[in-house]
Amino acid sequence: MTAQIINGNELAKEIRKDIAERAAKLTAAGETPGLAVILVGDSPASMVYVLNKERACKANGIRSILEKYDASFTEAELLERIRVLNQDPTVHGILVQLPLPDHIDPRKVIEAIDPEKDMDCFSVVNTGLLMTGQPRIKPCTPHGVMKMLESINYPVRGAHAVIVGASNIVGKPMSMLLLQAGATITICNSKTRDLGYHTRLADILIASEFFARKWSGESELEKALAGLKTLGARVTGVTAGSAGSMLIAEDGTILRCPAFRDLPVVDSTGAGDAYHCGFGVRYLETGDLRECMRFASAFAGLKCGKLGARAGLPTRKEVDEFLRNH
């Protein structure tokens, strides 16, 4: 089966253009869409996500209301702010950035948001509507995956979709959207017996160092990687942050690629995804595993030098030029 690369950046441009046009029509009719985002604490990763949301809103004609509070902000104070935003007719959506400080119950916070303004689709009401095939709001990441499949007219109906992970944020809602589109669903989780049975169709399996060690029960990275190899993929690799990456080829050869240590680190959000994307692109171009690892390492390293998971991604020209000099 020939692999097909979905150009997520181009698709995002099309979707944002549509959103901007719809927002402009609403504004012209006297009702500017408004999104309120609440951040409690000073997590750098959360701050990046929140700023990206604010930037996206402003670029597409949506009024952004950003409320930032210290980690000492109490649960009662947060619930009161949500109550006020629920009643504000100029606020059409509410997002509370997770995770929250330990003294705040995220379930209470999520359920306090008006279901009609619950943009994450985390509330019991909205997840129930999703379960029964009547989604009023679709969860962001799963909906994005469906949009990507739609963009290439992928025949989801009748397809067998395997989802590794059963979280409330991605795995479960993803299964519901695929099921409603006519797919046959298999959901795997940490308790799945013989995970390899479900993953043997994979040509390449790349996981984080943390996942490899946790799944295999091995503290030594080589042994953990060997454990992942038993899942049946022809090529298995792990990323290990500043320690680089390691891979076992189909013939059992172990390959290592160090990280580029001369690159500045501004924001590591999305570095793992960048590595996976870079590896996949180079694999389709050359099939040379050492070159794939080197290219992916450069792509991820350059991404870390800029702010933002998407905005920080380097261009192909930047990666090629960097590799020519290293």
Residues annotated catalytic, as ranges: 53, 97, 120
Neighbour order of strands in the sheet with 245-248: 204-208, 235-239, 245-248, 254-257
Two tokens, residue 65: 């209301």
Contacts of 266 (CB under 8 A, 6+ apart): 304, 305, 306, 307, 312
**DSSP H/E element including 235:** strand 235-239
DSSP assignment of 108-131 equals HHHHHS-GGGBTT--SHHHHHHHH
Two tokens, residue 124: 């019991």
Q: What is the DSSP letter of 101?
A: P
**DSSP H/E element including 257:** strand 254-257
* C-alpha to C-alpha distance for 312 and 118, rounded to whole angstroms: 28
* C-alpha to C-alpha distance for 153 and 129, rounded to whole angstroms: 26
* C-alpha to C-alpha distance for 95 and 98, rounded to whole angstroms: 9
Instruction: Tell me the CB-side half-sphere exposure of residue 31, using CA atoms within 13 A.
Output: 8
